[in-house]
Amino acid sequence: MRLYSDDELNAVSVRADPMVVLPTTREVRDLQRLNVVLTWEEGAVVRAPGWSGMVTAVSGDPEMEEGRPVLAIDGIDRIARASAEPFYRALASGDRGADVGRLHELLLATGFIDAMPADSEFLSFGTSLAVEQFNASLGLMDSRVFDPGTVIWLPFAPFPVETMEVEVGAPAPAPGSVIATGPATLLSAVLQAQNPAEPISLEPGVPYVLVKGQARLAFDAEMLTLPGEGLAALAALVEPLAEQTDAVIERETPLEVLAVPSTAIVANGDGDLCAWVVDASDDAGYRPVDVTLAGSQAGVTNVATGLGAEEEVLANPSAVLEEWVCP
């Protein structure tokens, strides 16, 4: 026998057990990996003057300095000199020209004359005697003729040496060939997302830094470029003339946040966010607190403000509370 009834059953509301957690303190760095696109100016070069013979010595100095030997050919030192123009011809007593004036400047700078002559563009007998002393200081004896091959012209001084292209025992480099190269100059560095689909994202008003190795470099957050002082520091960390390098950016000062399960954060129709915390004044109650967030990942949300580190948070408010939307 079957029995039937038209009576309606009362609705039963089943609520889940509350899950209460303490927030976890953590630091948010907003770390983002990226590429830095580099633009360089190649280093200045030093070229060989007119000479011949065998290289018998090479200076290991990191810089070429005025009046200092750079190398020796056939036992005769060749010194560095920065001037408006390089020497191009042998000069002897009776010669005249602007290059004679530059020779007098060289002799004055190296201490072989005490003052510039009244007619600085004329090579007098007295100057030829000074040239003889100059030559002897280099190892070239009994000659009153200035040899332009004893002077290596520098575009500027001191000249920092990145690479030296001469070796002891090798033939003297051909006239006009490069014997030394200065360091390349980094002209610009542009920050670029590694994945175009995920552009670089910076929190407004928050200072960030570019991190490469142990260096932390400020950059222009609007243009995503490095300023001059940052370029010099970055250039020392990468291969010269490299087209790009990888790096990361992060907050200059990490943000201290409290991590809670993402399910603990709820919103209302206006977009206001809150979390429900255990109400100490009510043994069985919870109260909402307004919060601001600092990102979330893998089911964990970072709360920047509004929540205390010792406040117990209801992780499943929608399953426990009848009215769980933020007021």
- pLDDT value of residue 14: 56
Provide the percentage of residues in the chain whose pLDDT is more than 70: 95
Residue keyed to tokens 């014997």? 179
The list of the chain residues with pLDDT below 50 reads 1-3, 5, 9-12
Phi and psi, residue 125, nearest 5°: -60, -40
Phi and psi, residue 324, nearest 5°: -110, -10
Give bridge partners of residue 274 from the DSSP assignment.
Answer: 266, 290
Query: How far, in Å, CA of 229 to CA of 244, rounded?
Result: 18
Residue by residue, DSSP assigns 123-184 as --HHHHHHHHHHHHHHT--S--SBPGGGEEEESSSSEE-SEE---TTSBPPPTTSEEEEPPP
CATH ID of 20-28+256-320, from 3.30.300.30, 2.40.420.20, 3.10.20.520, 1.20.1630.10: 2.40.420.20
Handedness of CA 49, 101, 82, 56 (dihedral sign): positive
Phi and psi, residue 212, nearest 5°: -135, 115
Query: How far, in Å, CA of 146 to CA of 12, rounded?
Result: 112
Question: What are the tens digits of pLDDT across the range 93-127?
Answer: 999 999 999 999 999 999 999 999 999 999 999 99
Q: Domain coordinates of the chain in residue numbers?
A: 20-28+256-320, 32-41+183-251, 45-181
Query: How far, in Å, CA of 293 to CA of 204, rounded?
Result: 14
- pLDDT value of residue 284: 67
- pLDDT value of residue 51: 96
Among residues 125, 86, 124, 126, the alpha carbon closest in space to that of 106 is found at: 86
Residue keyed to tokens 């002891």? 168
- pLDDT value of residue 8: 54
Contact 160, 63 (CB under 8 A): yes
Question: What are the tens digits of pLDDT across the range 146-161?
Answer: 999 999 999 999 999 9
Against a cut of 0.85, is the pTM above it?
no
Among residues 122, 121, 151, the alpha carbon closest in space to that of 134 is found at: 151
